[in-house]
Chain A
Amino acid sequence: MADISFLMLIFFLMVTTMDAETGLARRLPPIPDASQKVEDIKVNRRNLLNVKINSRDAIFAGEQYISDVDQIEDIVIDFLTNPTNSERLSAKKVKNIEGFGDYPVSEGVISLQNDRATSYSTYIKVQNVLVRAITRIRDDFSIQNFGKTYADLDEDHQKIVRLAIPNTVSESEPKDVSKSSRRR
Chain B
Amino acid sequence: MAKFKKKGNNDTPGISTASLPDIVFMILMFFMVSTSMRQTDILVKVTLPEATEAAKLERKDLASYIYIGAPSKQYQAQFGTEARIQLNDSFKSVDDIRDFIASERESLSEADRTFMTTSLKIDEDTRMGIVTDVKQELRRCSALKIMYAARKTEKK
Interface of B is mostly: mixed
Measured between beta carbons, the chain B residues less than 8 angstroms from A117 are 127-129
For the complex, what is the distance from the CA of A116 to the CA of B131, rounded to whole Å?
9
Measured between beta carbons, the chain A residues less than 8 angstroms from B20 are 2
How many A residues have CB within 8 A of the partner chain? 43
A132 interface residue per 8 A CB criterion: yes
Question: Contacting chain B: which of A79-87, A121-129, A156-164?
Answer: A121-129
Within 8 A of B (CB), among A1-33: 1-2, 5-6, 8-9, 12-13, 15-18, 20-31
B31 CB → nearest A CB, Å:
5
Shortest Cβ distance from B69 into A: residue: A120
Known contacts A29-B139, A31-B140, A116-B129, A21 near B37 by CB under 8 Å: no
A168 interface residue per 8 A CB criterion: no
Contact with B along A121-154 (1 / 0, CB 8 A): 1011101100110010000000000000000000
Q: Is the CB of A115 within 8 A of B128?
A: yes
A47 interface residue per 8 A CB criterion: no
A170 interface residue per 8 A CB criterion: no
A59 CB → nearest B CB, Å:
13
Q: Is the CB of B63 within 8 A of A16?
A: no
Q: Assign chain B's interface to a size class.
A: 35 or more
Measured between beta carbons, the chain B residues less than 8 angstroms from A119 are 124-128
Question: Contacting chain A: which of B74-82, B90-98, B102-110, B146-154?
Answer: B146-154
Which of B128, B142, B151 is A116 in contact with, Cβ under 8 Å? Answer: B128
A114 interface residue per 8 A CB criterion: yes
Shortest Cβ distance from B24 into A: residue: A5
Within 8 A of A (CB), among B117-138: 117, 119-120, 122-129, 131-132, 135-136, 138
For the complex, what is the distance from the CA of A127 to the CA of B149, rounded to whole Å?
12
Within 8 A of A (CB), among B4-49: 17, 20-21, 24-25, 27-28, 31-32, 34-38, 49
Other than the given A5-B25, A12-B31, A17-B38, 6 more pairs (CB < 8 A) read A17-B36, A22-B149, A116-B128, A116-B129, A120-B123, A123-B131
Instruction: Please name the 9 residue pairs, one residue from A and one from B, whose CB atoms are nearest each other, closest first.
Output: A116-B129, A16-B35, A21-B57, A121-B124, A22-B54, A23-B149, A128-B51, A118-B128, A124-B49
Taking beta carbons and an 8 Å cutoff, which residues of A are in contact with B? Answer: 1-2, 5-6, 8-9, 12-13, 15-18, 20-31, 114-121, 123-125, 127-128, 131-132, 135, 171, 174, 184
